[in-house]
């Protein structure tokens, strides 16, 4: 059984899809807004079926955020059928893209296909320097010793880990900080505290590298 989240504001469509997926034995939850999607998705979510035109935002933004935080597989389900829309969807992290109108049976088969090839869901991320992130309990260890991080420090580290060695802008990292008035300096403060906890030499960081004028990136290898 897999945990699947449907993000779709057209209730009839969502109910039809939900019925098909529940027949396959999945645990399915349905929400109608981007805000609800972001509030309920967790590391335990195995797949998201995501409409792109939501009443309170764009599905592409939801996709980018959940992929960055949890590396969650996403199937985009939308009436946007242009080639550019499809390219943009895949660029934002989608695993598959299906346009409306669609066959629920085909969608169910695509769900099976994506889940089959999806990233292993062992809820653990291993980084160089013997750093381990435990997604199910939002904990971090280094060389077997627990590192006590704040929720914001953990969110930043997880976002960088899920982007591997790609640079992440401060504007994107702000989205993962639990503060309505966060700004670039807020990110820098959290990164400084995070470095003090996980770097061997915080003054010469290896794990979290600064990308001057832009943001930060993971400076060590991710193994899984």
The pLDDT tens digits of the residues spanning 147-203 come to: 999 999 999 999 999 887 789 999 889 888 876 666 778 999 999 999 999 999 999
Question: What does each C-alpha distance from 165 to 38, 52, 117, 159 come to in angstroms?
Answer: 24, 28, 23, 11
Annotate 9-41 with b (16+ C-beta within 10 A) or e (fewer): eeeebbeebbebbeeeebebbbbbebebbbeeb
pTM summary value: 0.67
pLDDT for res 187:
93
Cis peptide preceding 123, ω within 30 of 0 = no
Between CA 21 and CA 2 the distance in angstroms is 10
Average pLDDT, the chain: 90
Residue 120 in this model has a pLDDT that exceeds 60: no
Q: Which domains does the chain have, with CATH numbers?
A: 3-117 (3.40.50.2300), 124-218 (1.10.10.10)
Q: What value, to the nearest 5°, has the Cα angle with vertex 138 and ends 132 and 140?
A: 30
Q: How far apart are the first and last CA of the chain?
A: 23
Once rounded to an integer, what is the mean pLDDT over residues 84-96? 90
| Higher pLDDT pick, 21 / 223 | 21
Find out whether 64 and 39 touch, Cβ atoms under 8 Å. Answer: no
């Amino acid at each position: 059984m897999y945990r699947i989240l449907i993000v779709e504001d057209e209730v009839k469509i969502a109910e039809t899809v939900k019925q098909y997926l529940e027949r396959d034995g999945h645990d399915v939850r349905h929400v109608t807004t981007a805000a609800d999607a972001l509030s309920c998705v967790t590391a335990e979510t195995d797949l998201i079926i995501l409409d792109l035109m939501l009443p309170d935002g764009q599905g592409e933004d939801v996709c980018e955020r959940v992929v960055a935080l949890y590396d969650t597989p996403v199937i985009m389900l939308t009436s946007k059928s242009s080639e550019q829309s499809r390219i943009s969807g895949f660029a934002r992290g989608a695993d598959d893209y299906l346009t409306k109108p669609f066959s629920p049976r085909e969608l169910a088969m695509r769900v099976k296909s994506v889940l089959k090839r999806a990233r292993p869901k062992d809820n653990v991320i291993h980084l160089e320097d013997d750093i381990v992130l435990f997604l199910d309990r939002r904990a971090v260890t280094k060389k077997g010793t627990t590192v006590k991080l704040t929720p914001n420090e953990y969110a930043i580290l997880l976002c960088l880990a899920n982007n591997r060695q790609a640079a992440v802008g401060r504007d994107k990292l702000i989205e993962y900080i639990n503060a309505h008035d966060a700004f670039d300096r807020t990110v820098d403060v959290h990164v400084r505290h995070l470095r003090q906890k996980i770097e061997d030499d915080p003054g010469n960081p290896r794990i979290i590298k600064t990308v001057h004028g832009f943001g930060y990136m993971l400076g060590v290898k991710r193994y899984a």
